[in-house]
Structure 1
């Protein structure tokens, strides 16, 4: 694990992909530019969030299909697709298609639970079956079976000139090993481990028995690995918000500090009926952030991260933050950038 002297193995970043609803095209293209920049800077992975009926990416799989054609090496992930909005069979088809287009670089992260704003969206989303939909872990299990190539129907054959398969097509053999579960509770961590998935933990956990964020995250990661067939080798990625300021302008530093200060009041205080607990945003020079991370019990359990970019900054801010993470923070954590792949 990345204690001082032990290197961080994989460095990634996460973006929400904001856009102007009056002209959404430029925002989507800017997200593709950010992903391409990540590859140029040597990042190992780029992840996109999933937002419905908001001004952020609603179709990350489509965006990553486009990104797969503008990049050559960087892994492409979703953090996360809420399966309450999805049909697992159709999603399995889309994921396999994009994985093949990307050359096996897709890392789909998923979660379960009722769709956000369920009472307001159910009639549009499930007009005839809202009262019968199951938003529990069974939805992930269906997706896992289909992505792994297990039968989707009990029939295959030929009718006329049409040839039918009994499993999802296309099938991408390595994709199942790259499926992630995004969890915030101890139960989710154990469930993901028991089902052989990778585990995404972020800047949000559930305050079930404590309000010590780092200790809760550490407990969840250890419970995940204890339940996983691969044990200590099971993959976990952490996604805190970090904002290094090494090359930031004075105006950027002020804006970043104001952003973090505006969110600090929720740190250490469980929020809402779910008792969600938020990590503090880390803002400052890379060496200072590296020291804070090395002291973080959750970070010490992982050897790969996908640092989350703040939602409301400008494109030039993201360039500065990503550049400073790659040039200063990553190396301070023992990470080595990957050389850009040659153009085909």
Structure 2
């Protein structure tokens, strides 16, 4: 069995070709798609976070709204850029959203991705310390976030508070028990995957990673997952970790699918992103029987316990629900996932 969810970047555009023409559309349609995905039997509704872009940005109001409208589906991010975050304020927001959802939050965090603006975190008031890179700043903020999620008191109470305090030092509220174990790190390299394991975070690996061996994308990603699991075991954590990978998968089951995505086979691509030589994984678009065979050969998908389907959200809620349903109904059973 494999958990299957969707991942939406939440793009919106005033273009007549887009069915998501405003930020309001992107937010409300994200809620509607999560509700539809739950009804279809999907396991997760995940959302990307991008700043200074016509895409989903501030995640916690959306996560709380989805949590209030659903009852079973996991709700998450992939990923929140920690270079922009105040870890303590984020812990309060995350705790509130998790309590609203009944403990279904699965928060993916990371150093972040290339931006729309230069050093955008500076506009949020965050500056790396002397000699520290922005990536190191993001990892440090992640560590601070993990510490406060434990729920241990650290703040000295006021001897004359407005309201009575519990004994001892105070923690952040609201605290949601168990959320610390549902934090994921979005990793683009073998080294950061190992670091995530050492920190006791689950692993998210997307459709791109650092090009490290010259092998096909799925082979490199599978090796990244194996190194993560080895590091987890060496760290001696008590629980079993979780690993997700993202894929663009379109089962061509009707004329709309063929019109949108039936234009030939894609392949891995090599490029430079944020001064890193990166490999971008292929998309999958084919008849269901062909998809089953192609995905069976994907080593990283086989290694992961969770698969996130990247969806073309500007094609509307109904079509994206169809994309999810086609994979659940026509592909997953042939691979033993359902």
TM-score by length of structure 2 reads: 0.87
- 1:252 matched to 2:252? The reply is no
Write the mapping of 1:116-155 to structure 2, written as runs, cut at 5 A: 116-117=115-116, 119=118, 121-126=120-125, 129=127, 135-153=137-155, 155=156
Q: Distance in 2 between matches of 1:268 and 1:333?
A: 26
CA distance in 2, matches of 1:284, 1:232: 38
Number of the residue aligned with 2:67: 68
* 2:82 equivalent in structure 1: 83
Q: CA deviation at 1:23?
A: 3.7
The CA distance in 1 between the partners of 2:56 and 2:113, in whole Å, is: 19
Aligned-residue offset at 1:230: 4.9
Q: Which runs of 5+ in 2 are unaligned?
A: 15-20
Aligned CA RMSD, in angstroms, stands at: 2.4
Choose between structure 1 and 2 for higher RCO, CA contacts under 8 A separated by at least 6 residues. 1
What's the offset of the Cα at 1:163?
A: 4.5
User: What does the per-residue CA deviation read over 1:137-189, in whole Å, with 9 as the maximum and x for residues that have no partner?
Assistant: 21111010011123443x12542423566211111111011110110100111
Q: Write out aligned runs for 1:179-218 (5 A).
A: 179-218=183-222
1:234 and 2:241 matched: yes
Aligned partners of 2:150, 2:119: CA distance in 1, in Å?
Answer: 34
Question: After the TM superposition, which of the residue ranges 327-336 and 292-301 deviates more from structure 2?
Answer: 327-336
Say whether residues 1:19 and 2:18 are aligned partners. Answer: no
Is 2:331 aligned against 1:329? Answer: yes
Tell me the distance in 1 between the aligned counterparts of 2:206 and 2:129.
31
Tell whether the 8 Å contact from 2:80 to 2:112 is kept in structure 1 after alignment.
Answer: no
> 1:68: Cα distance to partner?
0.7
Aligned to 1:307: 309
* Preserved contact between residue 7 and residue 78 of structure 2 (Cα < 8 Å): yes
Aligned ranges for residues 238-317 of structure 1 at < 5 Å?
238-246=245-253, 248-249=254-255, 251-258=256-263, 264=266, 267-272=268-273, 273-310=275-312, 312-317=314-319
- Say if 1:270 and 1:315 are closer, same or farther in 2 by CA, change over 3 A: same
Aligned partners of 1:57, 1:215: CA distance in 2, in Å? 31
Once residues 238 and 160 of structure 1 are traced to their aligned partners in structure 2, the CA distance between those partners, rounded to angstroms, is 48
Structure 1 151/36 Cα, relative in aligned 2: closer, same or farther at 3 Å? same
Distance apart, 1:130 and its partner CA: 5.9
In structure 2, relative to structure 1, the CA distance for the partners of 1:93 and 1:331 (3 Å cut) is: same
Q: Contact (CA 8 Å) 1:82, 1:115: kept in 2 or not?
A: no
Number of aligned residue pairs: 321
Partner Cα distance (1:190, 1:130) in 2: 23
Unaligned runs of at least 5 residues, structure 1: 1-7, 337-344
Residues in 1 aligned to 2:74 and 2:252: alpha-carbon distance in whole angstroms: 26
